[in-house]
Amino acid sequence: MKKTIHIVAGGPGELIPELSEYQEENIVWIGVDKGVQTIFHAGLQPGLAVGDFDSIKEEELERIERQVPSLRRFKPEKDETDMELAIMWALEMNPSAVKIFGGTGGRLDHFMANALMLGKFKRDHSGINFELIDVQNNLSVHLPGSHEIKRDGEKKFISFIPIFSDVYGLTLQGFKYPLKHHHVAKGSSLCISNELIQETGHFSFEKGILMMIRSKD
């Protein structure tokens, strides 16, 4: 059975859901910089710590060195972000899914980089599900084809956002505001805050990369 990789970054703690609720078999936890401490505080065991750790106190770093099986420390001056390095390591394990926590809130540049990075990795690794999760939102990225979506009573608002380019042939079935073979331009607000009106819906499109965000108020 393939592993699922859960990556925890150092975003605001109030936006990170209860991580223990996401603990299952075949889960590997990766802590990115301060995210290692978040994993520890949730009573979970990180398998890897990644980052420059410039925001970690010396005694905290000593604990990480003692208790985390694998530590990859980098200089702050580097081409990749700590998150990108963590995802690259995760992909070496050939996972079925990569879920990111602590990647929203705080600095807007970090959030935008994380969200767009998922699109890049999804494009290059189509068989892996990539998701960015916080207490209010689930963000995922999808390639052309047909996709099923189930109703979520908590995060009922669903938005579709083209990234990198326009999306062609978008069809929404089972939604409050359906579409049929629609061309959605990058930057369009057409597909914001839709809702399912059935227990299961479907969306499909022919060309482009589509970001889906499921949110609650």
Name the domain boundary from 114, 135, 156.
135
Q: Long-range contacts made by residues 78-82, C-beta under 8 angstroms, separation at least 24?
A: 78/52, 81/110, 81/113, 81/117, 82/9, 82/32, 82/33, 82/50, 82/51, 82/52
Q: Are residues 27 and 115 in the same domain?
A: yes
Q: 108-145, pLDDT tens digit by residue?
A: 888 888 888 999 999 999 999 999 999 999 999 999 99
Q: Is the pLDDT of residue 19 over 90?
A: yes
Domain count, the chain: 2
pLDDT at 26: 85
Q: Is the pLDDT of residue 82 over 70?
A: yes
Name the domain boundary from 135, 154, 188.
135
Hey, what amino acid is at 120? K
Confidence of residue 5 (pLDDT cuts 50, 70, 90): very high
Q: Are residues 14 and 85 in the same domain?
A: yes
As given in the structure block, the two tokens for residue 123 are 């494009």
Name the domain boundary from 135, 168, 189.
135
Q: Are residues 32 and 78 in the same domain?
A: yes
Where residue 148 sits, what CATH number does that domain have? 3.40.50.10240
Run of H or E residues at 35: helix 35-41
Burial degree of 87 (CB within 10 A; 0-12, 13-18, 19+): buried
Domain that holds residue 177: 141-215
14: number of Cβ within 10 Å: 8
pLDDT at 123: 93
Q: Is the pLDDT of residue 76 over 80?
A: no
pLDDT at 113: 87
How high does pLDDT run on average in the chain? Answer: 90
Q: Is the pLDDT of residue 34 over 90?
A: no
Q: Is the pLDDT of residue 78 over 70?
A: no
What is the pLDDT averaged over residues 169-188? 94
Q: Which residue has the tokens 């592993």?
A: 3
What is the pLDDT averaged over residues 155-170? 95
Q: Are residues 126 and 173 in the same domain?
A: no
pLDDT at 30: 95
Q: 164-177, pLDDT tens digit by residue?
A: 999 999 999 999 99
pLDDT at 194: 95
Q: Is the pLDDT of residue 107 over 80?
A: no
Q: Are residues 110 and 197 in the same domain?
A: no
CA distance 23 to 100: 13
Percent of the chain with pLDDT over 70: 98
pLDDT at 77: 60
Which CA distances in Å does 17 have to 12, 13, 139, 200, 215? 11, 8, 14, 25, 14
pTM of the model: 0.89
